[in-house]
Structure 1
Amino acid sequence: MSNNSSGEMSFLDHLEVLRWHLVRAFAGVFIFAVLAFIFKGFVFDTVILAPSDPDFFTNRLLCWLSTELDMPLLCINQEPLSFQNIKMSGQFTTHIWVSFVAGIVVAFPYVFWEFWRFIKPALYSKEVKHSRGAIFFTSILFTVGILFAYYIICPLSVHFLGTYQVSEKVENIVNLGSYIGTITSIVLAGGIIFELPIFIYFLAKVGIVSSEFLRKYRKHSIVLALILAAVITPPDVISQLLVCIPLIILYESGIVIARRIEAKRAKQMANN
């Protein structure tokens, strides 16, 4: 039985309820975006520009590893990048855009919770219980994905793209907007990619994918992970493994999740 005890709602009533959930979700994003706009020193110097700095945690760690393992290629981002702004309003518009993205990232758990509150009345009591767990794991995976992208992929990508040259005659002076666009894209992509087990859960739940299908294309997923790691990391095995292994683990987790859903479905069919 549905949790909605207020009776059937019309289509317009549903739209009105959805509208207020969207308003509250946007308000959450707006509040965090305003805070990010106010504290621009922290957002830009401490967060956004940090992966290009030699003192960044990952850069210092990899340089220490390069000494311990005698692998000089691991020591990255030892020369800070030079940034430039070529538009009159470039820094201001970049400030606004980064603040908005920061608002989305920080407010993501709240935004997801608002959407869950919208669909909650249509769920059965048992489904509501499982949905609460989904909210928790979705938020955790999104956060872990962002941290992984920020601390692992961003420094490696900054080093590779910032030092790559087609000729020694061409100097890399990075446009500020281009750099920030790259960092924000990588971070958001990391958060979304780490939602892979959640996506597989829902796809397996509705029968679109199966554990057999995922096992069949396991080799393809490993190849794609290796290609992605090779593109965004320096040409050494350790850096590529740092990126590749978590992606493979996420895929394998999806196979386990799909298998458990199939086993549960088979058990329910047997009981019926």
Structure 2
Amino acid sequence: MAKKNLNEMSFLDHLEELRWLLVRSTIAVLILATVAFLISDYIFDVIIFGPTKADFITYRFFCDLSSQLGYSDLICVKEMPFIIQNTNMEGQINVLIWSCITAGFILSFPFILWEVWKFISPALYESEKKHAKLFIFSSSMLFFIGVLFGYYVIVPMSVNFFATFTVSTVVINQFSIDSYIGMVKTSVIACGLFFELPIIIYFLTKVGLVTPEFLRKYWKYAVIIILVVAAIVTPPDVVSQIIVTIPMLIIYEASILISKIVVKNQNKQNG
């Protein structure tokens, strides 16, 4: 049966389209989660638990940077004084399942974007529908860059900080596997979605909910929020905080620029 035009679709038709979007996206996530399950040893030993090792690439980078800046080995990571333990009977099974599902979501993100595009495309102009490939490519790249930023920057900094922080030498850090992997998943997914901000701002500007003036007006508040987040997720040293803050500020500035471009194009069309 031919697909209905937007004007011919009722509210129930839209719900039906949304239902199939969710079904197809879920199937894609589960398929790639199964693939992740088949290589789960590599995912856990090399990827997830990579930041728990003192020779992780990020720690080696900061150690080299410390030497180049003349700080000797001030920010070098020489050991990780903590252990990861499982305290629940079904803990490791749950961790395995949800970690594979998270990996499936990350890997299937471009397909999910394609499904979202097909859902919203009937409401777009013909000239805008031609940009489907650009939308999928740019959104996917931003998401994966955010995921890598979260994994190689936010996660190791957080692990190093919490591993070395102690209120007393009497206390030994023994983190639960749920706590550790939850932190990894939250940091990676949150950064991936945060890097989607320019795309989100594009659509919000298109529908008139956001303007460049609004984003510029609250710029100082955005900077404060970013600085607070950077201070929370990084060790208490200026270098680490700057490394986290700069990409976030660039993303916010890029969002303002995109909003300006959208408004300018809309004014041309209306003029």
Please report the TM-score for the alignment, with normalisation by the length of structure 2.
0.91
Instruction: Please tell me the root mean square deviation across aligned C-alpha atoms, in Å.
Output: 2.0
1:35 corresponding residue in structure 2: 35
1:112 corresponding residue in structure 2: 113
Structure 2: give runs of 5+ residues left out of the alignment.
Answer: none
2:47 corresponding residue in structure 1: 47
1:173 partner amino acid: Q
Q: Kindly tell me: are residues 206 and 6 of structure 1, through their superposed partners in 2, closer, same or farther at Cα, counting changes over 3 Å?
A: closer
Greater CA drift, 19-28 or 138-147 = 19-28
Q: Kindly tell me: are residues 5 and 79 of structure 1, through their superposed partners in 2, closer, same or farther at Cα, counting changes over 3 Å?
A: closer
Aligned length: 268
2:59 corresponding residue in structure 1: 59
2:169 partner amino acid: E
Structure 1 residue 50, shift from structure 2 partner: 0.4
2:182 corresponding residue in structure 1: 181
Secondary structure of the residue aligned to 2:80 is: coil
1:93 corresponding residue in structure 2: 94
2:145 corresponding residue in structure 1: 144
Q: Kindly tell me: are residues 258 and 178 of structure 1, through their superposed partners in 2, closer, same or farther at Cα, counting changes over 3 Å?
A: same
1:123 aligns with 2:124: yes
Q: Is the 8 A contact 2:59 2:156 kept in 1?
A: yes
Structure 1 residue 247, shift from structure 2 partner: 0.5
Q: Is the 8 A contact 2:91 2:178 kept in 1?
A: yes
1:185 partner amino acid: T
2:212 corresponding residue in structure 1: 211
Q: Is the 8 A contact 1:77 1:159 kept in 2?
A: no
2:163 corresponding residue in structure 1: 162
2:66 partner amino acid: S
CA deviation profile, 1:137-170 (whole Å, cap 9, x unmatched): 1111101000001001110010111211111111
Give the whole-Å Cα distance in 2 for the aligned partners of 1:75 and 1:143: 27
Give the whole-Å Cα distance in 1 for the aligned partners of 2:265 and 2:95: 49
Structure 1 residue 13, shift from structure 2 partner: 4.3
4+ residue stretches of structure 1 with deviation over 6 A?
Answer: none
Please report the TM-score for the alignment, with normalisation by the length of structure 1.
0.91
1:233 corresponding residue in structure 2: 234
Secondary structure of the residue aligned to 2:183 is: helix
Secondary structure of the residue aligned to 1:248 is: helix
Give the whole-Å Cα distance in 2 for the aligned partners of 1:62 and 1:225: 22
Q: Is the 8 A contact 1:74 1:239 kept in 2?
A: no
Give the whole-Å Cα distance in 2 for the aligned partners of 1:133 and 1:252: 20
Q: Is the 8 A contact 1:76 1:156 kept in 2?
A: no
Give the whole-Å Cα distance in 2 for the aligned partners of 1:5 and 1:90: 49
Give the whole-Å Cα distance in 2 for the aligned partners of 1:34 and 1:80: 34
Q: Kindly tell me: are residues 6 and 142 of structure 1, through their superposed partners in 2, closer, same or farther at Cα, counting changes over 3 Å?
A: closer
Q: Is the 8 A contact 1:82 1:173 kept in 2?
A: yes
Q: Is the 8 A contact 1:33 1:100 kept in 2?
A: yes
Secondary structure of the residue aligned to 1:174 is: strand
CA deviation profile, 1:166-194 (whole Å, cap 9, x unmatched): 11111101111100000000000000111
Give the whole-Å Cα distance in 1 for the aligned partners of 2:143 and 2:125: 26
